[in-house]
């Protein structure tokens, strides 16, 4: 047993050290290796170099950071398009300039401060907490750093922080600025809002003449414009399209059932939670207290600073449990407490919340589902088997029409609007098709592409049909519908303006009193500009705002509520504004200071080395350069 525990401990330490290594990579990079000695420093500020490794690490760290936001890792070309490579270089230059300035000013950081910073870094913590000397050495070795080099980096980092604190420590947002901005944000309005609907119109709709429609058509061409369309011919095949031609082999279905046996054949199980204790006596006392009604399992969990998620064990079957635990939890005939029983974490109580009987779904009940799964899998393999032949046909000059005629692919055409992902044939629902259709050019040779479900397609762009306004005669019905909608909306506004000057009580719906309307509020069923217009108006003013063709709005500003900046929500808003404004000013001051000391020290960027690094990391063109 002792030998087994030592093996487990050794294995755990290796895992922890591996994680530490990854944490170091996430913190500071150090992940890109393989840059030969032919590459020198990538840039310098004064006498301080920015090494190739530092630049590569920073680029990769930025790729990972931004990739998490986009949900995919950016390529180096995309980094260049977004200007992220330049931003990385600017940060490195700024850091080097600050380190150079700290050295010039004689800012010195002692060994004790460096040691304290390293000991406090959670990346170097051991299993039992506290600093792990072996883990520290292991992580640095994995990162390709010596302790001396890493500690020098930490020393520079602390010196830069001291310098930064000295520069921005005294910055604060002016009180007048903070108060003015807070009053703007926290100000509210009391409003009486009335709605004018079609029921309030005094006359019916007027039928438009052809001249009315032609004038409306001429004045609103954008409303009737047909967007740019791409006339596309395509050939495609998907597993679903050939599924009916797939014959299912009974032995295959039986094999699939056996492979999924864990899904269909379930042993007796329990749903349980586990709470471990330091010793047997504590566990026995806890069970006794539960049985006496003095406490509950939930209360014991909460007292330990845990949540029910922390102690949840999910579904438990006999397999995988120790004999003692299995005997205890499966001896229960109804939900309840089992134990204490010995576990790897110490004596534990199990709360069994449900008893799940063994179950078995026979093959006959799931045969049809299995047939569909196996059939689709066979269809995908059949399509994949034809891929090389289809590629060869296209490469030899076969047209899409010939491709469809000699294979299982089907031919189709559509006029595709890139701005409307919902329109078009079924194939337009696939991202792969839309991506190719968007960049295709007239005259391109079709290439075989893969669909997400295992299907294949190829397309040809026949024509780009420019955006255009159809002749009046072709869209006369649409013009009339739009004219009527506009006429109703204008009539509602006219009625609202008339009522606003007399008495809103004449309206079919009663007005609504709204108190404390905030600047960022949303009034359901109203246009977005209504609230903005309310805050532009003065106290006592009445405004009319057009809605859709079913309503218009009359708003009377009954009161302008100036916030008390020293109480309530306004005080919290002021604190937030002051903090944010102060941080913005500090950032601007420090940015200007950094640029000044960088320019004073003189800096250069080696574009040749930059290009080589980006090429090795998957890029091509160099970033925009600077020098000084």
Note the pLDDT tens digit of each residue in 175-216. Answer: 888 888 888 888 899 999 999 998 888 777 778 999 999 999
Q: Is pLDDT of 486 > 80?
A: yes
Neighbours of 396 (CB within 10 A): 7
Tokens standing for residue 496: 């609202």
User: How many percent of the chain have pLDDT more than 70?
Assistant: 85
Least confident of 104-108, 384-388, 575-579, 604-608: 104-108
Tell me the C-alpha to C-alpha distance, in Å, between residue 195 and each of 57, 189, 260, 541: 61, 18, 62, 17
625 DSSP assignment: -
Burial of 133 (0-12, 13-18, 19+ CB in 10 A): exposed
pLDDT band, very low/low/confident/very high, at 27 (cuts 50, 70, 90): very low
Q: Is pLDDT of 505 > 90?
A: no
Distance CA 241, CA 336 (A): 53
Cα R_g (the chain), whole angstroms: 36
pLDDT band, very low/low/confident/very high, at 515 (cuts 50, 70, 90): very high
Average of per-residue pLDDT across 452-476:
92
Domains in the chain: boundaries:
11-169+608-616, 188-223+475-561, 229-246+374-465, 268-357
pLDDT band, very low/low/confident/very high, at 544 (cuts 50, 70, 90): very high
Nearest to 96 by CA among 143, 148, 58, 144: 58
Distance CA 451, CA 437 (A): 13
Q: Is pLDDT of 376 > 60?
A: yes
Distance CA 236, CA 403 (A): 10
Q: According to the model, what pLDDT value does residue 539 have?
A: 93
Least confident of 148-152, 341-345, 528-532: 148-152
Q: Is pLDDT of 454 > 70?
A: yes
pLDDT, tens digit, for every residue of 591-622? 788 788 888 888 888 888 888 888 887 644 33
Which CATH topology does 11-169+608-616 take?
Triger factor/SurA peptide-binding fold (1.10.4030)
Distance CA 281, CA 286 (A): 9
Q: According to the model, what pLDDT value does residue 23 have?
A: 38
Decide which of 13 and 605 is more confident: 605
Tokens standing for residue 431: 């991202």
Q: 453 in helix, strand or coil?
A: coil
Q: According to the model, what pLDDT value does residue 93 have?
A: 85
Q: According to the model, what pLDDT value does residue 126 have?
A: 66
Tell me the C-alpha to C-alpha distance, in Å, between residue 59 and each of 72, 99, 529, 620: 15, 20, 43, 14
Q: Is pLDDT of 488 > 80?
A: yes
Q: Which residues pair with 449 in a beta bridge?
A: 457
pLDDT band, very low/low/confident/very high, at 378 (cuts 50, 70, 90): confident
Least confident of 328-332, 377-381, 398-402, 531-535: 377-381
In what side-by-side order are the strands of the sheet with 603-605?
Answer: 48-50, 43-45, 603-605
Average of per-residue pLDDT across 240-255:
73
Reported in sequence order, the residue ranges of 186-308 that DSSP labels E, i.e. its strands, are 188-197, 229-237, 265-266, 269-276
Q: Which residues pair with 232 in a beta bridge?
A: 414, 461
Decide which of 411 and 138 is more confident: 411
Answer yes or no: are the C-beta atoms of 82 and 621 closer than 8 Å. Answer: no
Q: 547 in helix, strand or coil?
A: coil
Residue with tokens 């890493």: 150
Q: Is pLDDT of 313 > 60?
A: yes
Q: Looking at beta carbons, which pairs linking 175-184 to residues 24 or more positions away fall under 8 Å?
A: 177/581, 178/574, 178/577, 178/578, 178/581, 179/565, 179/574, 181/577, 181/581, 182/563, 182/565, 182/570, 182/573, 182/574, 182/577, 183/562, 183/563, 183/565, 184/519
Report the DSSP pairing between strands 456-465 and 229-237. antiparallel
pLDDT, tens digit, for every residue of 92-148? 888 888 887 777 777 777 888 888 888 888 777 766 567 778 778 887 877 777 888
Q: Is the dihedral of CA 432, 434, 436, 437 positive or negative?
A: positive
In what side-by-side order are the strands of the sheet with 410-416?
Answer: 410-416, 229-237, 456-465, 449-450
Go through 67-99 and write b for each residue having 16 or more CB atoms within 10 A of its CB, e for each that does not. eeeeeeebebebbbeeebbeebbbebbbbbbbb
Average of per-residue pLDDT across 557-578:
86
Q: Which residues pair with 131 in a beta bridge?
A: 125
Distance CA 408, CA 396 (A): 19
Go through 104-121 and write b for each residue having 16 or more CB atoms within 10 A of its CB, e for each that does not. eeebebeeeebeebbeeb
268-357 CATH pick, 3.30.1300.10, 3.40.50.300, 3.10.20.600, 3.10.50.40: 3.10.50.40
Question: 352 phi and psi, to 5 degrees?
Answer: -90, 120
Answer yes or no: are the C-beta atoms of 461 and 441 closer than 8 Å. Answer: yes
pLDDT band, very low/low/confident/very high, at 26 (cuts 50, 70, 90): very low
Answer yes or no: are the C-beta atoms of 54 and 609 closer than 8 Å. Answer: no
pLDDT band, very low/low/confident/very high, at 149 (cuts 50, 70, 90): confident
Tokens standing for residue 427: 């194939």
Q: According to the model, what pLDDT value does residue 7 have?
A: 39
Q: Is the dihedral of CA 585, 591, 594, 600 positive or negative?
A: negative
Least confident of 282-286, 421-425, 569-573, 622-626: 622-626
Tokens standing for residue 5: 């525990």
Q: Looking at beta carbons, which pairs linking 61-69 to residues 24 or more positions away fall under 8 Å?
A: 61/26, 61/28, 61/29, 61/31, 62/87, 62/88, 64/26
pLDDT band, very low/low/confident/very high, at 37 (cuts 50, 70, 90): very low
pLDDT, tens digit, for every residue of 391-402? 999 999 899 999
Q: According to the model, what pLDDT value does residue 422 have?
A: 54
Q: According to the model, what pLDDT value does residue 425 have?
A: 63
pLDDT band, very low/low/confident/very high, at 473 (cuts 50, 70, 90): very high
Answer yes or no: are the C-beta atoms of 561 and 190 closer than 8 Å. Answer: yes
Tell whether pTM > 0.85: no
Question: 310 phi and psi, to 5 degrees?
Answer: -65, -35
Distance CA 115, CA 52 (A): 27
Q: According to the model, what pLDDT value does residue 390 have?
A: 92
User: What is the enclosing helix (H) or strand (E) of 383?
Assistant: helix 363-395
Q: According to the model, what pLDDT value does residue 590 have?
A: 75
Q: Which range among 36-50, 60-74, 530-544 has the greatest average pLDDT?
A: 530-544
11-169+608-616 and 268-357 share one CATH topology?
Answer: no
User: How many percent of the chain have pLDDT more than 90?
Assistant: 22
Q: According to the model, what pLDDT value does residue 365 have?
A: 63
Mean pLDDT of the chain: 81
Q: 610 in helix, strand or coil?
A: helix
Q: Is pLDDT of 31 > 50?
A: no
Q: Is pLDDT of 490 > 80?
A: yes
Tokens standing for residue 66: 């931004």
203 half-sphere exposure, CB direction, 13 A CA radius: 8
The H-assigned helical ranges of 237-279 are 239-242, 250-259, 261-264
Answer yes or no: are the C-beta atoms of 493 and 552 closer than 8 Å. Answer: yes
Nearest to 496 by CA among 509, 477, 483: 509
pLDDT, tens digit, for every residue of 55-90? 888 888 888 888 777 777 778 888 888 888 888 888
Q: According to the model, what pLDDT value does residue 423 have?
A: 56
Average of per-residue pLDDT across 572-591:
82
Least confident of 90-99, 360-369, 507-516: 360-369
Nearest to 360 by CA among 255, 260, 250: 260
Nearest to 231 by CA among 425, 65, 491, 25: 425
- DSSP codes of every residue in 554-569: EEEEEEEE---TTSHH
């Amino acid at each position: 047993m002792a030998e087994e525990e030592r093996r487990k401990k050794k294995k755990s330490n290796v895992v922890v050290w591996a994680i530490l290594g990854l944490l170091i990579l996430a913190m500071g990079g150090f992940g890109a290796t393989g840059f030969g000695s032919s590459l020198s420093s990538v840039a310098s500020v004064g006498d301080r170099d920015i090494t190739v490794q530092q630049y590569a690490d920073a680029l990769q760290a930025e790729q990972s950071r931004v990739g998490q936001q986009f949900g995919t890792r950016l390529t180096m070309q995309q980094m260049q398009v977004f200007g992220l490579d330049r931003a990385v270089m600017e940060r490195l230059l700024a850091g080097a300039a600050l380190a150079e300035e700290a050295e010039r000013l004689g800012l010195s950081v002692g060994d004790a401060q460096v040691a304290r910073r390293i000991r406090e870094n959670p990346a170097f913590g051991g299993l039992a907490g506290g600093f792990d000397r072996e883990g520290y050495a292991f992580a640095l070795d994995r990162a390709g750093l010596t302790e001396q080099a890493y500690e020098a980096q930490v020393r520079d980092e602390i010196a830069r922080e001291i310098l930064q604190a000295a520069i921005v420590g005294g910055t604060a947002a002016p009180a007048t600025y903070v108060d003015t901005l807070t009053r703007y944000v926290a100000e509210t309005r009391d409003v009486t809002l009335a709605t004018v609907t079609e029921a309030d119109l005094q006359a019916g709709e007027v039928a438009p003449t052809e001249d009315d429609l032609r004038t409306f058509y001429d004045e609103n061409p954008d409303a009737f414009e047909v967007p740019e369309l791409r006339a596309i011919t395509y050939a495609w095949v998907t597993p679903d399209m050939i599924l009916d031609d797939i014959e299912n082999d009974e032995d295959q279905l039986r094999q699939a059932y056996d492979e999924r046996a864990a899904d269909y054949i379930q042993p007796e199980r329990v749903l349980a939670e586990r709470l471990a204790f330091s010793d047997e006596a504590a566990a026995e006392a806890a069970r006794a207290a539960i049985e006496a009604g003095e406490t509950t399992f939930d209360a014991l969990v909460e007292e330990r600073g845990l949540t029910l998620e922390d102690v949840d064990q999910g579904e438990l079957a006999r397999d995988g449990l120790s004999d003692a635990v299995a005997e205890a939890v499966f001896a229960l005939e109804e939900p309840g407490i089992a134990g204490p029983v010995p576990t790897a974490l110490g004596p534990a109580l199990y709360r069994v919340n449900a008893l799940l009987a063994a179950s078995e779904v026979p093959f006959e009940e799931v045969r049809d589902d299995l047939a569909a799964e196996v059939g689709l899998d066979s269809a995908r393999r059949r399509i994949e088997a034809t891929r090389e032949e289809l590629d060869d046909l296209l490469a030899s000059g076969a047209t899409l029409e010939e491709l469809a005629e000699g294979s299982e692919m089907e031919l189709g055409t559509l006029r595709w609007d890139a701005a409307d992902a919902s329109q078009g044939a079924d194939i337009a629902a696939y991202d792969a098709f839309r991506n190719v259709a968007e960049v295709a050019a007239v005259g391109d040779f079709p290439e075989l592409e893969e669909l997400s479900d295992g299907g294949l397609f190829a397309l040809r762009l026949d024509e780009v049909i420019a955006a255009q306004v159809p002749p009046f005669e072709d869209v006369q019905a649409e013009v009339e519908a739009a004219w009527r909608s506009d006429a109703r909306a204008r009539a509602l506004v006219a009625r609202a303006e008339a009522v606003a000057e007399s008495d809103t009580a004449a309206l079919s719906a009663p007005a609504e009193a709204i108190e404390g309307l905030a600047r960022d509020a949303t009034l359901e069923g109203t246009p977005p500009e209504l609230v903005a217009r309310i805050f532009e108006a003065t106290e006592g003013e009445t405004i009319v705002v057009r809605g859709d063709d079913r309503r218009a709005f009359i708003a009377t500003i009954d009161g302008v509520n100036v916030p008390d900046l020293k109480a309530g929500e306004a005080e919290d808003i002021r604190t937030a504004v002051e903090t944010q404004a102060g941080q913005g000013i500090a950032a601007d001051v420090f940015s200007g200071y950094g640029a000044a000391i960088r320019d004073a020290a003189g800096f250069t960027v080696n574009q040749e080395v930059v290009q080589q690094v980006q090429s090795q990391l998957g890029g091509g063109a160099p970033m925009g350069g600077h020098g000084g």
